[in-house]
């Protein structure tokens, strides 16, 4: 591979583009664990907030409330739990990525599980008229 040479003008232009993009993007200002809902809440400079279900995140499935409350911002892009040695990118969580591919597949397949209890619940719901239609109130 050839050498990559970045002159001062190109470097300054790249920095300006980065700062411009950063100024137009919401930046996380705080993160906390909301005990009543069991969710991690990230708040941003523009007043928006994002929530994720804490115990659905890989590595936090069996974490105590106190461990979950130890969440901290990792720069402007991530979340970190020191005692669990767990890190997540905020943009990944916002995209619904709660773990690696194997973890996500196992979580997805969990909803497909068949059991006698699940079948009995479906039959009971059927006797009650089934799932309510959307918009029916």
Dist CA 39 CA 45 (whole Å): 20
Q: Which of 22, 72, 15 is nearest to 45 (CA)?
A: 22
- pLDDT classification of 111: cutoffs 50, 70, 90: low
The CATH H-level superfamily of 8-99 is Uncharacterised protein PF10387, DUF2442 (3.30.2020.40)
Q: What is the three-class DSSP state of 78? A: strand
pTM: 0.66
Mean pLDDT value across residues 6-31: 86
pLDDT at 137 over 60: no
pLDDT at 127 over 90: no
Centre a 10 Å sphere on the Cβ of residue 54 and count the other Cβ atoms it contains: 24
- pLDDT classification of 1: cutoffs 50, 70, 90: low
Q: Locate the domains of the chain by residue range.
A: 8-99
At residue 136, the pLDDT reads 59
* 51-65 per-position pLDDT tens digit: 999 999 999 999 999
* 56 in Cβ contact with 97 (< 8 Å): no
* 66-110 per-position pLDDT tens digit: 999 999 999 989 999 999 999 999 999 999 988 887 877 877 776
Q: What is the three-class DSSP state of 74? A: strand
């Amino acid at each position: 591979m050839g050498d990559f040479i970045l002159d001062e003008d190109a470097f300054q232009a790249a920095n300006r583009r980065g700062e411009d993009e950063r100024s137009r993007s919401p930046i996380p200002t705080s993160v906390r664990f909301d005990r009543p809902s069991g969710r991690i809440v990230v708040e941003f400079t523009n007043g928006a907030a994002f929530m994720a279900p804490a115990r659905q995140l890989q590595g936090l499935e069996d974490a105590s409330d106190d461990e979950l409350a130890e969440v901290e911002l990792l720069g402007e892009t991530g979340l970190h739990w020191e005692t669990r040695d767990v890190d997540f990118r905020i943009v990944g969580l916002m995209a619904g990525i709660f773990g690696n591919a194997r973890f996500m597949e196992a979580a997805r397949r969990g909803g497909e599980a068949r059991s006698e209890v699940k079948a009995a619940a479906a039959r009971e719901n059927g006797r009650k008229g089934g799932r309510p239609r959307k918009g029916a109130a």
